[in-house]
Amino acid sequence: MIRKNIDRRVRKTKQQLQTGLAQLLLQKNIDKITVSELSDLVDINRGTFYLHYKDAFDMLDQIENEIFEDFCAILNRYASNVIECNTRLFIIDMFHFIAKNEEMMHFIVSEPGDRAFLTRLKTAFKEKFLKHWMEKNHTESSIEVEYIYSYLLSGCMGLMIQWLKTGMKEPPEQIAKLTEIIILKGLSSFETQIL
Protein backbone atom coordinates (compact mmCIF):
# COMPACT_ATOMS: atom_id res chain seq x y z
CA MET A 1 0.00 0.00 0.00
CA ILE A 2 2.88 2.38 0.79
CA ARG A 3 4.49 1.69 -2.61
CA LYS A 4 1.20 2.42 -4.38
CA ASN A 5 0.88 5.78 -2.57
CA ILE A 6 4.47 6.68 -3.51
CA ASP A 7 3.83 5.76 -7.15
CA ARG A 8 0.65 7.85 -7.15
CA ARG A 9 2.53 10.84 -5.69
CA VAL A 10 5.31 10.48 -8.25
CA ARG A 11 2.78 10.35 -11.11
CA LYS A 12 0.97 13.41 -9.74
CA THR A 13 4.23 15.34 -9.34
CA LYS A 14 5.37 14.46 -12.86
CA GLN A 15 1.95 15.44 -14.25
CA GLN A 16 2.12 18.81 -12.49
CA LEU A 17 5.62 19.41 -13.86
CA GLN A 18 4.56 18.35 -17.36
CA THR A 19 1.57 20.72 -17.29
CA GLY A 20 3.79 23.55 -16.08
CA LEU A 21 6.45 22.86 -18.71
CA ALA A 22 3.85 22.78 -21.48
CA GLN A 23 2.48 26.17 -20.32
CA LEU A 24 5.95 27.70 -20.30
CA LEU A 25 6.85 26.21 -23.68
CA LEU A 26 3.91 28.05 -25.24
CA GLN A 27 5.51 31.30 -24.01
CA LYS A 28 9.24 30.75 -24.53
CA ASN A 29 11.93 28.42 -25.88
CA ILE A 30 13.15 25.51 -23.77
CA ASP A 31 16.58 27.14 -23.33
CA LYS A 32 14.92 30.09 -21.55
CA ILE A 33 13.07 27.93 -19.00
CA THR A 34 14.74 27.51 -15.62
CA VAL A 35 14.10 24.80 -13.05
CA SER A 36 13.30 27.50 -10.48
CA GLU A 37 10.70 29.10 -12.73
CA LEU A 38 9.04 25.74 -13.46
CA SER A 39 9.15 24.64 -9.81
CA ASP A 40 7.63 27.94 -8.66
CA LEU A 41 4.89 27.74 -11.28
CA VAL A 42 3.68 24.32 -10.13
CA ASP A 43 4.55 24.88 -6.46
CA ILE A 44 7.02 22.01 -6.22
CA ASN A 45 10.40 22.06 -4.48
CA ARG A 46 13.41 22.25 -6.81
CA GLY A 47 14.87 19.22 -5.04
CA THR A 48 11.77 17.25 -6.01
CA PHE A 49 12.31 18.25 -9.64
CA TYR A 50 15.89 16.93 -9.51
CA LEU A 51 14.69 13.57 -8.21
CA HIS A 52 13.17 13.00 -11.65
CA TYR A 53 15.06 15.18 -14.17
CA LYS A 54 18.49 16.73 -14.70
CA ASP A 55 17.14 19.92 -16.25
CA ALA A 56 14.32 21.22 -18.48
CA PHE A 57 15.94 19.68 -21.60
CA ASP A 58 16.09 16.26 -19.95
CA MET A 59 12.49 16.60 -18.84
CA LEU A 60 11.29 17.49 -22.34
CA ASP A 61 13.27 14.57 -23.80
CA GLN A 62 11.75 12.13 -21.32
CA ILE A 63 8.21 13.41 -21.92
CA GLU A 64 8.60 13.25 -25.70
CA ASN A 65 10.05 9.73 -25.50
CA GLU A 66 7.09 8.58 -23.38
CA ILE A 67 4.64 10.18 -25.82
CA PHE A 68 6.45 8.56 -28.74
CA GLU A 69 6.33 5.12 -27.08
CA ASP A 70 2.59 5.49 -26.40
CA PHE A 71 2.03 6.63 -30.01
CA CYS A 72 3.96 3.65 -31.38
CA ALA A 73 2.03 1.26 -29.11
CA ILE A 74 -1.21 2.44 -30.74
CA LEU A 75 0.32 2.13 -34.22
CA ASN A 76 1.55 -1.39 -33.46
CA ARG A 77 -1.93 -2.46 -32.33
CA TYR A 78 -3.38 -1.57 -35.73
CA ALA A 79 -0.64 -1.30 -38.38
CA SER A 80 -0.12 -4.98 -39.16
CA ASN A 81 -3.87 -5.32 -39.67
CA VAL A 82 -4.37 -2.04 -41.52
CA ILE A 83 -6.83 -3.31 -44.12
CA GLU A 84 -8.89 -5.51 -41.83
CA CYS A 85 -8.89 -3.21 -38.80
CA ASN A 86 -11.78 -0.98 -37.86
CA THR A 87 -10.60 2.43 -39.07
CA ARG A 88 -12.81 4.33 -36.66
CA LEU A 89 -11.50 2.43 -33.61
CA PHE A 90 -7.95 3.30 -34.63
CA ILE A 91 -8.83 6.98 -35.13
CA ILE A 92 -10.72 7.07 -31.81
CA ASP A 93 -7.65 5.67 -30.07
CA MET A 94 -5.51 8.34 -31.73
CA PHE A 95 -7.80 11.17 -30.59
CA HIS A 96 -7.89 9.74 -27.05
CA PHE A 97 -4.08 9.72 -27.18
CA ILE A 98 -4.11 13.41 -28.20
CA ALA A 99 -6.57 14.25 -25.40
CA LYS A 100 -4.42 12.40 -22.85
CA ASN A 101 -1.39 14.46 -23.93
CA GLU A 102 -3.30 17.70 -24.54
CA GLU A 103 -0.81 20.14 -23.01
CA MET A 104 2.22 18.74 -24.82
CA MET A 105 0.32 18.32 -28.09
CA HIS A 106 -0.61 22.02 -27.92
CA PHE A 107 3.08 22.85 -27.66
CA ILE A 108 4.18 20.38 -30.37
CA VAL A 109 1.78 21.72 -33.01
CA SER A 110 1.99 25.41 -32.06
CA GLU A 111 4.48 27.94 -33.44
CA PRO A 112 7.37 27.34 -33.17
CA GLY A 113 6.52 24.11 -31.35
CA ASP A 114 8.75 21.10 -31.78
CA ARG A 115 8.92 20.41 -35.50
CA ALA A 116 11.56 17.69 -35.07
CA PHE A 117 9.32 15.71 -32.73
CA LEU A 118 6.28 16.22 -34.97
CA THR A 119 8.34 14.90 -37.89
CA ARG A 120 9.33 11.90 -35.75
CA LEU A 121 5.64 11.12 -35.13
CA LYS A 122 4.79 11.53 -38.83
CA THR A 123 7.70 9.29 -39.86
CA ALA A 124 6.63 6.54 -37.45
CA PHE A 125 3.08 6.74 -38.80
CA LYS A 126 4.30 6.59 -42.40
CA GLU A 127 6.64 3.68 -41.78
CA LYS A 128 3.92 1.64 -40.11
CA PHE A 129 0.84 2.41 -42.17
CA LEU A 130 2.02 3.33 -45.65
CA LYS A 131 4.43 0.40 -45.76
CA HIS A 132 1.74 -2.11 -44.66
CA TRP A 133 -0.86 -0.57 -46.97
CA MET A 134 1.48 -0.88 -49.99
CA GLU A 135 2.36 -4.47 -49.08
CA LYS A 136 -1.30 -5.48 -48.70
CA ASN A 137 -2.22 -3.84 -52.02
CA HIS A 138 0.92 -5.01 -53.84
CA THR A 139 1.60 -1.39 -54.68
CA GLU A 140 5.00 0.15 -55.22
CA SER A 141 5.86 3.52 -53.80
CA SER A 142 5.11 6.16 -56.39
CA ILE A 143 4.79 9.91 -56.57
CA GLU A 144 0.98 9.52 -56.64
CA VAL A 145 0.96 7.38 -53.48
CA GLU A 146 3.25 9.91 -51.76
CA TYR A 147 0.93 12.79 -52.75
CA ILE A 148 -2.18 10.98 -51.53
CA TYR A 149 -0.50 10.04 -48.27
CA SER A 150 0.71 13.62 -47.77
CA TYR A 151 -2.77 14.99 -48.48
CA LEU A 152 -4.50 12.62 -46.04
CA LEU A 153 -1.91 13.17 -43.30
CA SER A 154 -2.08 16.95 -43.65
CA GLY A 155 -5.87 16.82 -43.44
CA CYS A 156 -5.78 14.68 -40.31
CA MET A 157 -3.19 16.99 -38.77
CA GLY A 158 -5.40 19.97 -39.60
CA LEU A 159 -8.39 18.37 -37.85
CA MET A 160 -6.27 17.59 -34.80
CA ILE A 161 -4.91 21.15 -34.61
CA GLN A 162 -8.38 22.67 -35.03
CA TRP A 163 -9.74 20.37 -32.31
CA LEU A 164 -6.93 21.39 -29.93
CA LYS A 165 -7.32 25.11 -30.75
CA THR A 166 -11.06 25.07 -30.08
CA GLY A 167 -10.69 23.46 -26.65
CA MET A 168 -11.52 19.86 -27.64
CA LYS A 169 -15.22 20.40 -26.94
CA GLU A 170 -16.30 17.44 -29.06
CA PRO A 171 -15.58 13.93 -27.75
CA PRO A 172 -12.84 11.94 -29.52
CA GLU A 173 -15.50 9.63 -30.99
CA GLN A 174 -17.19 12.53 -32.81
CA ILE A 175 -13.90 13.85 -34.25
CA ALA A 176 -12.90 10.31 -35.22
CA LYS A 177 -16.18 9.87 -37.13
CA LEU A 178 -15.61 13.15 -38.98
CA THR A 179 -12.02 12.15 -39.79
CA GLU A 180 -13.10 8.75 -41.07
CA ILE A 181 -15.80 10.29 -43.29
CA ILE A 182 -13.31 12.72 -44.81
CA ILE A 183 -10.67 10.02 -45.36
CA LEU A 184 -13.03 7.44 -46.86
CA LYS A 185 -15.52 9.65 -48.70
CA GLY A 186 -13.85 13.01 -49.13
CA LEU A 187 -15.69 16.27 -49.54
CA SER A 188 -18.48 14.63 -51.58
CA SER A 189 -19.95 13.39 -48.29
CA PHE A 190 -20.67 17.02 -47.29
CA GLU A 191 -22.25 18.19 -50.57
CA THR A 192 -25.78 17.22 -49.57
CA GLN A 193 -25.36 18.87 -46.18
CA ILE A 194 -23.90 22.11 -47.62
CA LEU A 195 -26.23 22.53 -50.60
Domains in the chain with CATH codes: 1-53 (1.10.10), 56-194 (1.10.357)
Model confidence pLDDT, tens digit, residues 43-63? 999 999 999 999 999 999 999
Which pLDDT does position 98 carry in this prediction? 93
- Give residues with Cβ within 8 angstroms of 115, minimum separation 6: none
Please state, in angstroms and rounded to a whole number, the distance separating the CA atoms of residues 175 and 103: 18
**Structure pTM?**
0.80
Secondary structure (H, E, C), 117-177 = HHHHHHHHHHHHHHHHHHHHCCCCCCHHHHHHHHHHHHHHHHHHHHHHHCCCCCCHHHHHH
Helix axes 172-185, 87-100, angle to 10 degrees: 130
Q: Prior bond to 112 cis, omega within 30?
A: yes
Which pLDDT does position 33 carry in this prediction? 94
Indicate whether 150 pLDDT > 80.
Answer: yes
> Which of 7 and 1 is assigned the larger pLDDT?
7
